[in-house]
């Protein structure tokens, strides 16, 4: 390959994987600068999550290439004729799945399904995907396993499951009302026009393997199966069935999160003492710190950082970091993951991030105020 060909390939890679390159460079700088020594890298990485993401990516790829995903979308579109009702169903499914199997897993199921709807209808998927990601953050937090910061604070608080759900129920109820209003504002009342196409044939072997991979991931999340089993089981099948059909864009999510964990650990190496000087009462100071720190370092490390300052105000901190999952792309890793899945499924969408920030910061303002009043 000549110099022009190599530069063209490099340019295409940078355009499609620019965020991966940036996170990798920041991670390298953190390691070289001593913020995250090499010996500490295994401790900052969530190997279980990385293995789960890899197994899910391969399972979804098998479902896609088998035709099972498209067939399911065709059946769903026959049941929904209105864009608002379809969007509402997708949002509720995203929130419910997140509460049961964590928001990361839910997005791997919901976002590809939503994008596939655009192939068989005139359904506009951008707003729906953004609201699905928001629902995964705000409705999935009903349970301790809905997201990582909940699980951490659940263990630190010493609450039972019932007490945790009862405490988060008002937050989720208020978020559901705001999500409902957002659907009305963002999704015009219109009919979905389906494209008449022949039913998609389903290849049974990769479809069954993909479904088995998803089931193994769920068993792993429930700690019924070991964390390495889903990836060990699905990888050999994927290698055989996905020859020549690998979606390397989807697989890039795994190294992306590897580098993001290092970047977050580097940010945590800095000491945030600005709020300690604010002339505010402890409760509003904690809440403000939780929501704003989340914008810069994500809500999971923010929960870890502020847990020692909570002094029993667990509900307040929970509300702060879960509301703080709205806003920037890194406020919640689900935001970053959802964007990456959407981009890999749909292709480049120059308008996505602009719309995401407008919607997400509006949710940060609305949910942030409502959550503080409820806390």
Identify whether 6 is part of a domain.
Answer: no
pLDDT of residue 53: 79
How many domains are there within the chain?
1
Confidence of residue 244 (pLDDT cuts 50, 70, 90): low
Q: What angle do CA 92, 97, 98 make, to 5 degrees?
A: 100
Identify whether 9 is part of a domain.
Answer: no
Model pLDDT for residues 57-67, shown as the tens digit of each residue: 888 888 888 88
Identify whether 243 is part of a domain.
Answer: yes
Identify whether 335 is part of a domain.
Answer: yes
Task: Check if the beta carbon of residue 217 is closer than 8 Å to that of residue 230.
Answer: yes
User: Shortest CA distance to 95 belongs to which of 139, 134, 147?
Assistant: 139
C-alpha gyration radius of the chain: 21
pLDDT of residue 13: 47
Task: Using a cut of 0.75, tell me whether the model's pTM lies above it.
Answer: yes
3-state secondary structure of 17: coil
Identify whether 154 is part of a domain.
Answer: yes
Model pLDDT for residues 148-204, shown as the tens digit of each residue: 888 888 888 888 889 999 999 999 999 999 999 999 999 988 899 888 777 878 889
Identify whether 4 is part of a domain.
Answer: no
- 180 is in which domain, residue-wise? 16-374
**pLDDT at residue 256 greater than cutoff 80:** no
Q: Residues 200, 114, 354, 61: is their CA dihedral positive or negative?
A: negative
* Euclidean distance between CA atoms 181 and 209, whole angstroms: 39
Please name the residue that has the structure tokens 């389903």. Answer: 202
Identify whether 301 is part of a domain.
Answer: yes
Identify whether 214 is part of a domain.
Answer: yes
* Cβ neighbours of residue 175 closer than 8 Å, sequence gap 6 or more: 138, 139, 367, 370
Query: Picking from 133-137, 243-247, 359-363, 369-373, which range would have the lowest pLDDT averaged per residue?
Result: 243-247
């Amino acid at each position: 390959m000549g110099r022009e060909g190599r530069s063209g390939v490099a340019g295409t890679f940078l355009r499609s994987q620019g965020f991966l390159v940036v996170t990798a460079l920041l991670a390298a700088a953190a390691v070289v600068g001593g913020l995250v020594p090499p010996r500490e890298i295994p401790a900052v990485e969530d190997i279980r999550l990385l293995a789960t993401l890899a197994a899910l990516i391969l399972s979804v790829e098998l479902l896609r290439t088998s035709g099972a995903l498209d067939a399911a979308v065709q059946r769903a579109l026959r049941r929904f004729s209105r864009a608002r009702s379809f969007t509402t169903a997708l949002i509720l499914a995203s929130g419910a799945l997140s509460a049961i199997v964590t928001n990361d897993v839910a997005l791997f199921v919901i976002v590809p399904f939503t994008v596939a709807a655009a192939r068989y209808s005139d359904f506009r998927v951008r707003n729906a995907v953004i609201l699905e990601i928001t629902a995964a953050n705000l409705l999935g937090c009903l349970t301790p396993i809905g997201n990582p910061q909940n699980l951490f604070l659940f263990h630190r608080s010493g609450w039972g499951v019932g007490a945790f759900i009862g405490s988060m129920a008002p937050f989720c109820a208020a978020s559901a009302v705001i999500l409902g209003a957002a659907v009305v504002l963002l999704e015009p009342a219109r009919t979905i026009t389906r494209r008449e196409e022949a039913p998609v044939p389903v290849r049974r072997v990769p479809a069954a393997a993909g479904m088995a991979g998803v089931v193994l991931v769920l068993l792993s999340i429930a700690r019924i199966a070991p964390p390495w089993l889903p990836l060990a089981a699905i990888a050999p099948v994927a290698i055989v069935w996905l020859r020549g059909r690998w979606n390397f864009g989807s697989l890039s999510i795994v190294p992306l999160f590897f580098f993001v964990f290092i970047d977050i650990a580097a940010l945590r190496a800095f000491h945030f003492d600005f709020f300690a000087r604010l002339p505010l009462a402890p409760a509003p100071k904690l809440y403000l710190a939780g929501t704003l720190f989340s914008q810069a370092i994500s809500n999971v490390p923010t929960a870890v950082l502020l847990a020692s300052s909570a002094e029993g105000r667990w509900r307040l901190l929970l509300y702060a970091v879960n509301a703080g999952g709205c806003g920037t792309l890194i406020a919640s890793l689900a935001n970053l993951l959802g964007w990456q899945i959407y981009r890999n499924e749909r292709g480049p969408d120059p308008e996505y991030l602009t719309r995401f920030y407008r919607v997400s910061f509006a949710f940060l303002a609305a949910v942030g105020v409502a959550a503080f009043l409820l806390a």
